[in-house]
Copies of this chain bind each other. A is one copy, B any other.
Amino acid sequence: MALEHAILVSLLEKPGSGYELARRFERSIGYFWTASHQQIYRVLKRMESDGWVDVRDVPQQGRPDKKEYSVAALGRDALAGWLHEPIQPESVRHDLAVKIRGAAFDDPAALIREVERHRQAHTERLAHYLAGQARDFPESRSPGTGAGTGLDSDPHPVALPSPPDAGRELQHVVLRGGIAYERMMLDWLDDVLATLRRLGSAR
């Protein structure tokens, strides 16, 4: 129930159209909150009629016009309200974990290629994060090879919050979380692969 809040945050960081939001939700923000364009358009409509966002028609050359959304006062209030109320432990859905336990009733070795695919995807995502970190936060010469978040990889840093750099700092700490998550997943997937191979060869 927080897609609207994710949209508010994204629009505060930078106003944009539904289409642009949808693309941000594919990269950047989408790594910790997914949404399809259909859903974004629908929610945007509701937010507009609730007065949470303002719309502005922007003609463009060489492409269709767009509706640029920005956060209205009511939207800011709604976000503040949400920020101040506690949320409970995230509900998780790890298909892969279900599959791994299910493999006991099938052929464990048959899962190896699937797990390798996931490992590959996480490798790529980690590289993407590191590239973004190197690009957007070059001052962090931290472990790893360093290169950027890609999270809110908008070329222009946002200049809104009172401490002008708070947004940057917070984006960076979220990015570091993404990096830590991917590294943990890679380690774990290696563990899973070793286990599956052991079970396969023991047959």
Contact = CB atoms under 8 A, between A and B. Distances in A.
Nearest to A167: B104
Contacts of A13: 101, 104
Nearest to A177: B188
* Most chain B CB atoms below 10 A, which of A98, A172, A199: A98
A9 B94 CA distance: 13
Interface of A: 2, 5-6, 8-9, 12-13, 31-34, 76, 79-80, 82-84, 86-87, 89-106, 108, 110-111, 114, 117-118, 121, 125, 149, 151-152, 154, 156, 158, 160-163, 166-167, 169-174, 176-177, 180-181, 183-184, 187-188, 190-192, 194-195, 198-199, 202-203
The 8 residue pairs across chains A and B that have the minimum distance between CB atoms:
A104-B167, A32-B94, A32-B97, A34-B91, A151-B187, A184-B184, A9-B102, A160-B202
